[in-house]
Amino acid sequence: MSSAACIFCKIIKGDIPSLKLFESDKVFAFLDIQPLSRGHALVIPKFHGAKLTDIPDEDLVEILPVAKKIAQATGAVDFNILQNNGRIAHQVVDHVHFHMIPKPNEKEGMT
């Protein structure tokens, strides 16, 4: 299920370019276009849904192992996994996404 108007569905289809990190039948991961730190990634279900509550469990369970692999691949020791639902919770793109945000030592530059 995808939405023709959704920017992340277009990224999954390749209609909008992205720096892809991972793809499986249910999950897609790519670098955030406005990274909060080097390696800031977005991990998303291919199933289109705006909020966590819209996504089937069988799709959701495949997300966190991918976020874990990306965290390991970046070498990040400290990192945040964030997932916003709704405008009041600061969600901007209405396709479920998990941010994987490395938190490098401040001496390394971007925090």
- DSSP letter string over 48-101? --SSGGGS-HHHHTTHHHHHHHHHHHHT-SSEEEE---SGGGT--SSS--EEEE
For Zn ion, the nearest residue by Cβ is 6
Which of ligand 5GP, Zn ion, none sits in contact with 95, Cβ below 5 to 8 A by type? Answer: Zn ion
Which residue type, as a one-letter code, is found at position 45? P
88 touches ligand 5GP by CB under 6 A: no
Cα–Cα distance for residue pair 57/73, rounded to 1 Å: 26
Q: Which stretch binds ligand 5GP (CB under 6 A): 28-36, 43-51, 52-60, 63-71?
A: 28-36
Q: Which stretch binds ligand 5GP (CB under 6 A): 30-38, 46-54, 67-75, 100-108?
A: 30-38
Size of site (CB under 6 A) for ligand 5GP: 14
Cα–Cα distance for residue pair 39/15, rounded to 1 Å: 23
Q: Report phi then psi at 84, rounded to 5.
A: -95, 140
28 touches ligand 5GP by CB under 6 A: no
Q: Which residues bind Zn ion (CB under 5 A)?
A: 3, 6, 8-9, 48, 95
